[in-house]
Amino acid sequence: MAEDLGFVSAMAFGLTALLLGILSPIATHIGLVDHPGGRKHHAKPTPLIGGIAIITAFFLAALASGLPLSPFRAFFGGALILVIVGVMDDLRELLPRSRFLAQLGAGLLMTVGAGVVLGDLGYLFGPDRLMELGLLAIPFTLFATTGLMNAINMSDGVDGLSASLVLIALVSLVLIAITGGQGSQASLLVPLIAALLAFLLFNLRPRGPALVFMGDAGSLFLGFALCWFLIRFSQGPNRLMAPVTALWLIALPLIDTLVIMGRRIAKGQSPFRADRQHCHHILLAAGFSPKQALGIMLLLALTIAGIGLTGHFQGIPEHLMFWGFLALLGGYAGMITRAWQVKRFLGRALVHQTAKAVS
């Protein structure tokens, strides 16, 4: 089994790299590129094919794995919807309503078609109080799914950020499955991780600009995949983890999006309105380079996910982990509210660090 999984993962990695090389000139020819200008930091048009390559390689690797894929028909169907709409959005920017309908369609395939539903939220308010959703289960699952897809999409503002955040969550899920004696449940996650690593070789280069970008097709698919597996792992009588653990594994993009969209709504603006208030924007405005901002964000994400994993493995009560998450959310909201002060503080810290390094 391990040898087969290794072969399939190597296949996913190799196919992703091969497809990125083949599709790049085609994307440039048809205009499937992200042009510089405005809020963007890259200097030349960059192909938006990362998501297409990842999904195609992952699908082919899954077919070659020999795993029973019938339970995942709705998963691949939802992924296909998101890819088509994502590519259309990358070619010709669609209205937010069109993207939302695609997300809703994928979510309906997941919930109604495959029965992957948040039936309960665990013991958020005490060890004897299971928070069951009842009739709200499917609507709440759809809300959570579209929310996470948008959160991953909105975090795609620095090279390697969205893919790396998803990578942290996926590796955490594999670790939970293996230590829980259910490694087979993570069999599809390992080739997806391999495909993401291949993409990062082209997107997050030590020197020079990114050769490819993820595109909306990729970020929407990754958000959908995360939702699917987070729900499967956290629901049912044989769940591998508590639902609150899922919050910690995806905390950074989730909290960032919740706070930013909440502020926009409070100001009477569209929650999908673009601005420069995300965490990575604050770091860039403070003077950090894109790679420094990425490093800080990933360190934060790893720390937060580590807290969630610690709570899981140490058996910390779910309601305590939930209150801890709310405290994290409140602290982050306070930081964003005082974004200009945070920028000034970080800017001073960066100047001090630079001066110390020079001396």
Closest CA to 216 of 55, 338, 42, 2: 55
pLDDT higher than threshold 60 for residue 43? no
The identity of residue 290, as a single letter, is P
Cβ pair 62, 191 in contact under 8 A: yes
Determine the average pLDDT of the residues in 289-311. Answer: 92
pLDDT at residue 224 in the model: 96
Any idea where the domains of the chain sit in the sequence? 2-358
Determine the average pLDDT of the residues in 176-190. Answer: 88
C-alpha torsion sign, points 315, 228, 71, 164: negative
Radius of gyration of the chain (CA): 20
Closest CA to 348 of 337, 358, 356, 336: 356
Q: How many CB atoms lie within 10 A of CB 342?
A: 18
Cβ pair 30, 45 in contact under 8 A: no
Question: In this predicted model, what pLDDT tens digit does every residue of 144-169 receive, in sequence order?
Answer: 999 999 899 888 778 889 999 999 99
Mean of per-residue pLDDT scores for the chain:
87
Question: In this predicted model, what pLDDT tens digit does every residue of 242-284 receive, in sequence order?
Answer: 999 999 999 999 988 888 777 777 777 666 666 666 777 677 7
How many angstroms separate the CA atoms of 300 and 160, rounded? 15
Q: Which residues contact 359 (CB under 8 A, 6 or more apart)?
A: none
The identity of residue 31, as a single letter, is G
How many angstroms separate the CA atoms of 26 and 3, rounded? 35
DSSP-assigned states of every residue in 139-162: HHHHHHHHHHHHHHHHTTTSTTHH
How would you class 300 by CB atoms within 10 Å of its CB: exposed for 0-12, middle for 13-18, buried for 19 or more? middle
pLDDT higher than threshold 80 for residue 320? yes
Question: In this predicted model, what pLDDT tens digit does every residue of 123-146 receive, in sequence order?
Answer: 999 888 899 999 999 999 999 999
DSSP-assigned states of every residue in 256-271: HHHHHHHHHHHTT--T
How many angstroms separate the CA atoms of 243 and 357, rounded? 44
For the chain, what is the total number of helices (H) and then of strands (E)? 14, 2
SS3 content of the chain, % helix, strand, coil (to 5): 70, 0, 25
The DSSP element (H or E) to which 34 belongs, if any, is: strand 33-34
95 alpha carbon, distance to own chain's centre: 22
pLDDT higher than threshold 60 for residue 88? yes
How many angstroms separate the CA atoms of 142 and 50, rounded? 26
Question: In this predicted model, what pLDDT tens digit does every residue of 214-247 receive, in sequence order?
Answer: 999 999 999 999 999 999 999 988 899 999 999 9
Closest CA to 121 of 255, 329, 332, 319: 319
pLDDT at residue 19 in the model: 97
